[in-house]
Structure 1
Amino acid sequence: MNQKAVFIDRDGTIVEDVPYCNSPRKIRLLNGAGKAIKRLNDQGYLVILITNQSGVARGYFSEETLGEIHNKLREELDCFGAHLDDIFYCPHHPSEGCTCRKPSTGLIERAVEKHGINNNLSYFIGDRLIDMQAANRTGCKAVLVPYAPPETDYFKSDVTPDSRPSFLAGDFTAAVDWILADAAGEAAVSVIIPTLNEEHNICCVLPRLLRVPGISEVILVDGKSTDRTVENALRLWPEIKVINQPGRGKGNAMRVGFEAACGDIVVTLDADGSLAPEELPRYIEPLFDGYQMVKGSRFCRGGGTSDMPLFRRLGNFIFTKMANLVCGCRYTDLVYGYHAFRRQILGSLCLKSDGFEIDTEMYIRATRKGLKVKEVPSYEAKRMEGAGKLRSFHDGARILRTILRESVHG
């Protein structure tokens, strides 16, 4: 069986979530759902609706009415040239203990048998953990929507292994973007973490990172720590790739990590706990929508910081305005190290910096090369323990020299 499919939930996934929807007039497609389903149709995926509809057993509507609702849904999709290849629903009450109500797998199994579907080539998009469970139990990759970072129920809940999605998506369109990239082998994610004597902080960062779906590898570039940083990292994440940094400085560590990364997407994360691993999906998602780099900003709407004294805010403001003026950038935050990018762009950036100025160098060169860059809001917390490595005036001078150099030689 080589037929591939995308199973989709209904309410809250492709249509507005109306509790016990009992009329075709209440069906409203979510923005972008029709076009996204059309893309799946065009790529040869069967698109199959898998939905619990206990409203039948509860007496809120009949199966005949449910059929009319689904006919209306088909009509709505037809306006976009999209279609559902089949619909499977469970009409039973949760107390009946049937084998078809999600998270049970009966509906998916019926679809597989009817259409000759290969689950290893297939995906499931849903908005609840029971959808993820049904997908994982049948061998499909699961995508959870909508994802509202960083304060989302997913990260607040106790997620069991069979409830874990393969990816968190902001909406149905983003889910389809990821599915098509993953199927093409272009969705692997490498996370680079430079470290130097962060034995306590790494014990907080890695468990949080472990909860983020879709990470292919984590590379810890250690700058000759004299404490238990590496030992603690290996204990918490045995598969972590540890590289002993040959040089000095954050920029050198990042460049070493970039060179070692195997993922299609590379993300940088600090080891001090100031950058939230839970935000990582918001950096990755735009890269499946045509962007080549995504950078965080503490000063665009939705961002913030609790770790920046006034004189550093002023310095960042001046550096950002200067880079925008003399280098043609349009950034709101120049000196911030949370970013993600397509690994294939590294060759064009030719990064050389060894210190904290590497972020500035990267952002300016991305603009100069005409790369498609997106800023996303990010919140910077105070580092958890210990003293930071940034030396405000020394590193500020290096950042200034980088801006001036790039303005002349860029």
Structure 2
Amino acid sequence: MTSRYVLLDRDGVINYDSDEFIKSPEEWIPISGSLEAIALLNDNGYKVVVISNQSGVARGLFDLATLEQIHEKMRQKVAERQGEIEAVYFCPHGPDDNCRCRKPKAGLLEQFAAEYRVDLINLPFVGDSWRDIEAARVVGARPMLVKTGKGQRTLAAHPDINIPVFESLYDAAKFIVTEK
């Protein structure tokens, strides 16, 4: 059986977001139900991959070693709920760096697809921001929006959005596993 994947943004989807950035493992706090959502996806045969802009690195707010510690805490907390994150792809660049990997550009998704030999067409990508939706659309993935994080702001700015919208990652995960 070929592996099925679900792509998730990190801040605002899995953990609480902050306009001041998540700069340390202590600041990384999971949103209620998000860890269980990842375990639910895993239990139903989905591998979870995180696709995340992390411009705090370019801004000098934290370094790559600290970012890895944050991701290690995330993996550990998911594992405590019998879940697993297959991989984490992140863009360390700032908005003005003109890189190919910063969402809404498709670089991170293309890198994942190449490394895992995965077709991105209709692959669920759950995010909370317009740039997540745009990145998913560029590669033909299936964007889904959660109201956590920046989700409410995204909905207010794009009231005619025509994609599935969920209260939380857990609600999105329940939808994904029932639509086989």
Compute the TM-score of the two structures, normalised by the length of structure 2: 0.90
Residue 153 of structure 1 and its aligned partner are, at CA, apart by 3.9
Gaps of 5+ in 1: 185-410
Give the distance between the partners of 1:159 and 1:110, measured in 2 at CA: 31
1:45, CA displacement in angstroms?
A: 1.5
Q: CA deviation at 1:158?
A: 4.4
Q: What corresponds to 2:139 in structure 1? A: 138
- TM-superposed deviation, 1:65: 0.6
Mapping for residues 124-273 of structure 1, pairs under 5 Å:
124-146=125-147, 152-158=152-158, 164=161, 166-182=163-179, 184=180
Match of 1:17 in 2: 17
- Whichever of the two has the greater Rg, that structure is 1
Count of residues paired in the alignment:
176
- Partner residue in 1 for 2:99: 98
- Note if contact 2:122-2:140 (Cα within 8 Å) is conserved in structure 1: no
Q: Check 1:34–1:155 CA distance in 2 against 1; reply closer, same or farther (3 A cut).
A: closer
| Contact 1:5/1:123, CA 8 A, preserved across alignment | yes
2-11 vs 83-92, which moves further = 2-11
The one-letter amino acid paired with 1:49 is V
What fraction of aligned residue pairs are identical, expressed as a percent?
Answer: 33
CA distance in structure 1 between the partners assigned to 2:158 and 2:24 by the alignment: 35
Letter in 2 for 1:113: A
Per-residue Cα deviation, 1:85-113 (whole angstroms, up to 9, x for no partner): 00000000110111100000100111111
Structure 1: how far apart are the matches of 2:42 and 2:162?
23
| Alpha-carbon spacing, 1:29–1:95, altered in 2? closer, same or farther (3 Å) | same
Does the 8 A contact of 2:52 with 2:91 survive in 1?
A: yes
Aligned position for 2:50: 49
Shift of 1:32: 0.7
Secondary structure at 1:96's aligned position in 2?
Answer: coil
1:123 and 1:141 in contact (8 A); partners too: yes
Q: Contact 2:54–2:91 (CA<8 Å) still a contact in 1?
A: yes
Provide the residue aligned with 1:37 in structure 2. Answer: 38
| Matches of 1:159 and 1:94, distance apart in 2 | 25
Alpha-carbon distance in 1 for matches of 2:39, 2:84? 7
CA drift at 1:37: 0.4
- State how far apart, in whole Å, the 1-side matches of 2:118 and 2:159 are: 28
Distance in structure 2 (CA, Å) of the matches to 1:165 and 1:47: 24
Shift of 1:122: 1.5
Distance 1:63 1:51 in 2: 14
CA contact (8 A) 1:144 1:165 kept: no
Task: Give 1:165 deviation, angstroms.
Answer: 5.2
Deviation at 1:121, TM superposition (A): 4.7
The 4+ residue runs of structure 1 with deviation greater than 6 A are none
Distance in 1 separating the partners of 2:162 and 2:9? 14
Q: Following TM superposition, by how much is the alpha carbon of 1:52 offset from its aligned partner in structure 2, in angstroms?
A: 0.4
The higher-RCO structure (CA 8 Å, 6+ apart) is: 2
Kept after mapping to 2: 8 A contact 1:4/1:118: no
Inter-CA distance 126–55: structure 2 relative to 1 (3 Å threshold): same
1:324-348 deviations in whole A, cap 9, x for unaligned?
Answer: xxxxxxxxxxxxxxxxxxxxxxxxx
Task: Please give the root-mean-square deviation of Cα atoms over the aligned residues, in Å.
Answer: 1.9
Shift of 1:46: 1.8
Give the match's secondary structure for 2:85: coil
Per the alignment, in what secondary structure is the counterpart of residue 85 of structure 1? strand
Distance 1:165 1:76, change over 3 A: farther
Work out whether residues 128 and 154 of structure 2, in 8 Å CA contact, stay in contact via their aligned partners in 1.
no
Deviation digits for residues 295-319 of structure 1, max 9, x if unmatched? xxxxxxxxxxxxxxxxxxxxxxxxx
SS in 2 for 1:10: coil
How far, CA to CA, are the matches of 2:134 and 2:23 in structure 1? Answer: 27
TM-score by length of 1: 0.41
Structure 1 residues 154 and 59: CA distance shift in structure 2, 3 A: closer
Structure 2 regions of 5+ residues with no counterpart?
Answer: none
Are 1:132 and 1:165, in contact at CA under 8 Å, matched by a contact in 2? no
Relative to structure 1, the CA distance from residue 115 to residue 156 in structure 2 (aligned partners, 3 Å threshold; closer, same or farther) is: same
Query: Which residue number corresponds to residue 4 of structure 1?
Result: 4
